[in-house]
Amino acid sequence: NAGVMQNPRHLVRRRGQEARLRCSPMKGHSHVYWYRQLPEEGLKFMVYLQKENIIDESGMPKERFSAEFPKEGPSILRIQQVVRGDSAAYFCASARGTGETQYFGPGTRLLVL
Amino acid sequence: DQQVKQNSPSLSVQEGRISILNCDYTNSMFDYFLWYKKYPAEGPTFLISISSIKDKNEDGRFTVFLNKSAKHLSLHIVPSQPGDSAVYFCAASPYNNNDMRFGAGTRLTVKP
């Protein structure tokens, strides 16, 4: 009964590179959420996806950030041309349906040098 | 805009005593409230929730109280145990809307 899986757990990138973060939801969950936690802050909602659809991306920065949840495979959060301010912990959560409890993965800690 | 606030960044309690963690919110559309616990280097773990039709929900040592008129909720842990030492996040959302907002967290330390 695997929980939400995220990889990599740690990712180091230089400024200007791309970062790809992966999230596999719990079995039976078709709703995926991405959150970002900056140092000493709470989690901030970024985007909510269902299979092949972005439902709410109101928390996503307008540029350089994108997310997808294809029919097959994990959800991907992609950050292009990373900057130092992108350094944070990125958490993915999944839920069985709308309004259901969200269960979190262990997070990916991104460090931009 | 900080719609969910946890004003105490840290709390220290003696083992066996009660821990009370507080949370305030500003959005009257919030209908569903949750508490998550987070250990270092791990993701948040769901602890307990309450919907706005209730004012109390209890699960073992954990009880959440909701005061809708004051827009305030609290998490009570009794008796506190050293393993409860973690960061606790309060979260809120309009029911059936997945836009969940988190507080900044309170770091609880339970001393043996």
Q: Which residues of A touch B89 (CB under 8 A)?
A: 42-43
The two tokens of residue B32 are 């569903």
Q: Which of chain B's residues have a Cβ under 8 Å away from the Cβ of A107?
A: 41-43
Pinpoint the alpha helices (H) of A1-113.
none
Say yes or no: A28 contacts chain B, CB-CB below 8 A. Answer: no
Give the number of A-B residue pairs with CB atoms closer than 8 Å.
Answer: 59
Q: Which of A20, A38, A27 is nearest to A5 (CA)?
A: A27
Contact A104 B45 (CB under 8 A): yes
CB distance from A56 to chain B under 8 Å? Answer: yes
Band of residue B87 on the pLDDT scale cut at 50, 70, 90 = very high
pLDDT tens for each residue of chain A, 113 residues long: 579 999 999 999 999 999 999 999 999 999 999 999 987 778 898 999 998 899 989 889 989 999 999 999 999 999 999 999 999 999 999 999 877 888 999 999 999 99
On whether any CB of chain B is under 8 Å from the CB of A95, the answer is yes
Contact with chain B for residue A34, Cβ under 8 A: no
Residues contacting residue B17 through CB under 8 Å, at least 6 positions apart: B78, B79, B80
Report yes or no: A30 and A96 within 8 Å, Cβ to Cβ.
yes
Asked if B36 is an interface residue toward chain A (Cβ–Cβ < 8 A), one would say yes
